[in-house]
Amino acid sequence: MTTRAAAQLTIEIVGGGANQIPITLVPFGMEDKQPQRLSEIIAADLNRSGRFKLQEPGSVRPFPTEPAEVNYRYWKNRGSQTLVIGRLAERNDGRLDVRFRLLDSAKESQLLGFSYTIAPAQLRAIAHKIADIIYEKLTGEPGVFSTRIAYVARNPDRFELQVSDADGLNSQFILAHREPIISPAWSPDGTRIAYVSFEQRKSIVFLHNLIDGGRRILANYEGMNSAPAWAPDGERLALALSKDGLTQIYQMRADGSNLVRLTFSSAIDTEPNFSPDGRSILFMSDRGGNPQIYRMSANGASVERMTFDGTYNVTPRYSPDGKSFAYVQRAQGRYTLSVMDFATRQALALTDNQFDSSPTFSPNGRMLLYASIVKGRGILAAVSSDGRIKQKITSAALDVREPAWGPLVGNR
Partner 1 sequence: MNQLSWARLLAALCVALLIAGCGSKGGTEQKGGATVESRDIGEQQRATDEQRAADAKRAEEERRRQEAEARRLAEEKRKADEAALRAAEQPVVKPLPSATVGEKALSDAATQLKDASGPLSKRSVYYDFDMYNIREEFQPIVEAHAKFLLEHKDVKVRVEGNCDERGSREYNLALGQRRADSIKRAMTLLGVPAKQIETVSFGAEKPKAPGHDEEAWAENRRSDIVYIGIDSPQ
Q: Could you list the residues that contact partner 1 (CB under 8 A)?
A: 178-180, 182-183, 196, 198-203, 223-224, 226-227, 240, 242, 245-247, 268, 270-271, 284, 286, 290-291, 312, 314-315, 328, 330, 335, 355, 357-358, 373, 376, 402
Q: Which is nearer to partner 1, 164 or 248 (CB)?
A: 248
- Give Cα separations from 251 to 37, 273, 322 (angstroms): 47, 11, 21
**Residue 316: CB minimum distance to partner 1, A:** 10
Sequence-separated (6 or more) residues with CB below 8 Å from residue 267: 246, 285, 286, 287
**Residue 150: CB minimum distance to partner 1, A:** 15
Residue 186 forms beta bridges with which residues?
193
**Residue 256: CB minimum distance to partner 1, A:** 20
Residue 372 forms beta bridges with which residues?
379
- Give Cα separations from 244 to 219, 250, 258, 375 (angstroms): 14, 11, 16, 40
Q: Which is nearer to partner 1, 72 or 151 (CB)?
A: 151
**Vertex 107: Cα angle to 102 and 112 (nearest 5):** 25
Backbone dihedral region for residue 56 (phi beyond 0: left; psi -120 to 50: alpha; all else: beta): beta
Q: Is 220 helix (H, G, I), strand (E, B) or coil?
A: coil
Q: Which is nearer to partner 1, 46 or 240 (CB)?
A: 240
Q: Which is nearer to partner 1, 72 or 294 (CB)?
A: 294
Q: Which is nearer to partner 1, 50 or 228 (CB)?
A: 228
Across the chain, which distance is largest between two alpha carbons, in Å?
A: 74
Query: With contact defined as beta carbons under 8 Å apart, do 129 and 107 qualify?
Result: no
**Residue 148: CB minimum distance to partner 1, A:** 22
**Residue 358: CB minimum distance to partner 1, A:** 7
Helix intervals (H) in 21-169: 38-48, 72-77, 123-139
**Residue 373: CB minimum distance to partner 1, A:** 7
Q: Which is nearer to partner 1, 100 or 230 (CB)?
A: 230
Alpha carbon distance 205, 210 (integer Å): 16
**Residue 13: CB minimum distance to partner 1, A:** 26
Alpha carbon distance 336, 319 (integer Å): 17
Q: Which is nearer to partner 1, 40 or 199 (CB)?
A: 199
CA 73 to chain centre: 40
Alpha carbon distance 115, 112 (integer Å): 11
Alpha carbon distance 376, 13 (integer Å): 21
Q: Which is nearer to partner 1, 183 or 384 (CB)?
A: 183
Alpha carbon distance 391, 351 (integer Å): 11
Type of residue at 296: M
Within 10 angstroms of residue 4's Cβ, the number of other Cβ atoms is 14
**Residue 315: CB minimum distance to partner 1, A:** 5
Type of residue at 355: F
**Residue 173: CB minimum distance to partner 1, A:** 18
**Residue 189: CB minimum distance to partner 1, A:** 24
**Tally of CA atoms within 13 A in the half-sphere of 297 that contains its CB:** 3
Query: With contact defined as beta carbons under 8 Å apart, do 286 and 301 qualify?
Result: no
**Residue 240: CB minimum distance to partner 1, A:** 7
Q: Which is nearer to partner 1, 49 or 226 (CB)?
A: 226
Query: Please, is 75 exposed, middle or buried when counting C-beta atoms within 10 Å of its C-beta (0-12, 13-18, 19+)?
Result: buried
Q: Which is nearer to partner 1, 191 or 242 (CB)?
A: 242
Alpha carbon distance 176, 334 (integer Å): 31
Q: Which is nearer to partner 1, 336 or 364 (CB)?
A: 336
